[in-house]
Structure 1
Amino acid sequence: MLAARRGQVAKVVRELEVGDIFGLTQIRLRLTEHRKVRFVPSVGRLDRVEVVRGMAGGEDISHPEGPMEGELYDLRHYAPGDPIRFVLWKVFARTRQLVVRSPERALSPIRQTCAYLVAGPADEPAAGAARLAIERGALGSEWVLGADGSHDDATRKDQAVDLLARSATVSGTERGGRGLGEFLRRRSQGGMGRAVVFVPGRPGPWLDAVVNQCAGHDGACGRGGLRGQIEFVVGTDGIERARPRNWLARLALRERKPQLRRQAQTKAPAEDERVETQDRVTTEELAKVVAALSKVGRVVVVDRQAGRVFAGGQLTAMAEDRRRAA
């Protein structure tokens, strides 16, 4: 059984059609089975979701005879005078930015992580990214997950999957993102940590609610209050360029739609084309979401259909593309 969206249902309705090969007669039977079924969000082609880990004071002490610094682990932008052998040429080929390796400081990663899923239009890719982050351990060893539509928090993988499935009931309402502020206040009791918020790639009523609630917090959560920046993971199922403003181009696109729709009806979807096209976003929509969230935290975009992660200069290029289209 293949589901287009995540969720939980109490019954399954099956339709059976029986007819002759000439199409003269046809009988349709509907069978209803009362049973609980859970549909979990698909991870698509994503194989990893990297989130920034906060840092705290380390417990290790450097060797007395060695330098008070660690291995060449940290990364930073190139500065005049840096040795050329420390430049990461693979990163330069991909982003056109010079990045060098630098010694790590005497710091250790924070273990406590607070994650939250915001429900809204086209939120299925964000739910899939949240599931992947939990299953692959990207949130660290100690984490807690919250989601719209539930006042309970999950600390185990099985609880988290149930929480993600139940959040589908909020997707079509105006309550998306309303519970984020309460979640941050509830989880900020105790030690220091970080916060990762999974959001849809299409703007909606949830966007203003999230920005307003995060503006009053300093950042990540844990035992000791909120500190640092909140990290936002924006989920998409493909990114389309914004349509041109020229009236002639818009007319051509409108005339082409019925033909594409007829082709879609006659061609059955392939096995690897299960991702819903309704979750695709344009560069204009994505740039609006990124611009709003960048004011209160760090933003990373994941494309579930292509299995890619966008950050830094790539998001800046999307914003410039939006300005040119306008």
Structure 2
Amino acid sequence: MSAARLPVFVDVDTGVDDAMALAYLFGSPDAEVIGIASTAGNVDVHQVCENNLGLLQLCGRSGVPVSKGAEAPLSAPLRTAEDTHGPQGLGYARLPAPTAELTAYDAAQAWVRAARAHPGELIAVATGPLTNLALAVRAEPALPRLVRRLVIMGGAFDYRGNTTPVAEWNVSVDPEAAAEVFAAFSDADELPIVLGLNLTENIMLTPELLGALADTAGSPSRPLSEHDDRGAASAAANPLIRVLEDAMRFYFEFHHDCGEGYLAHLHDPLAVAVALDPELVRCRPAPVDVELTGTLTRGMTIADWSGRWGRKPNALIGVDVDPTAFFDRFIARVGAFARQLPYS
């Protein structure tokens, strides 16, 4: 691996915005994706594995190991989000049938292997429920000190939830896992960066920005519109742009139906961008914990800004971001990468 490229391990529940995040990593010259852990969340873990393998096939990225994670949260039944991401997790998009196979070891082992193979160097990103990471820390308690940087997309800090009035989706699916991870990383050399809804909902993709991505890829197409027929297929010639437009159309329609406008929040792409360049966001350190027993507040993430718990900080919470700077980078990287792909 070139000294200029960072070893990156990602744990995803792919997922429309997870797919966009993976495309960002594939298009980043400073990143080398060394492994993908599949976690149950947006869809079940078997479908997540298929999505990850199919996306690698589409993008011509052979040799990246994909590992299957736990089929359910640590102690609660699995909930999935097909209403948000579509029955297969990628909206209206269809990926090629993968020819690669999953690793013989599971996602928790994949975490441990990656951390041990790159001690003090590994850049890790979790954009789904934290089940796999919690199991990995149980297996290797030293893992928080082996990772150079961990970025978590999850939680909502002084902000409304998107699953319950107070809880964000990833944490809500497996709050016990999130609580274990936050506790374990209290002793990390570098505190994890946690990007909650209070930050990621500033990253709003619009049809105009998606059109700019298609233009940069050399595959201009008619901008998506709320007046289009539901499920209308992308006419883009570029295979990656076609998949992203078909996935994003479903995501746009979901947000529109929720009264948020014909747009979509790119939670997970921001997480991978910050993993490569933490300067994209401003953070505040704080002790963070997760409510596990509240009748109305289970899954809520609490930051003790005022130090009332008497605990040292265990997270760097993202509090400010420049969406324009992010989208400039996202469009440039994903567009250039898509341009290199053979058309089919």
| TM-score past 0.5 threshold | no
Q: Say which one has the larger Rg.
A: 1
Q: Normalized against structure 1, the TM-score is what?
A: 0.34
**More helix by proportion, 1 or 2?**
2
TM-score normalized by the length of structure 2: 0.33
The answer to which structure has the higher strand fraction is 1
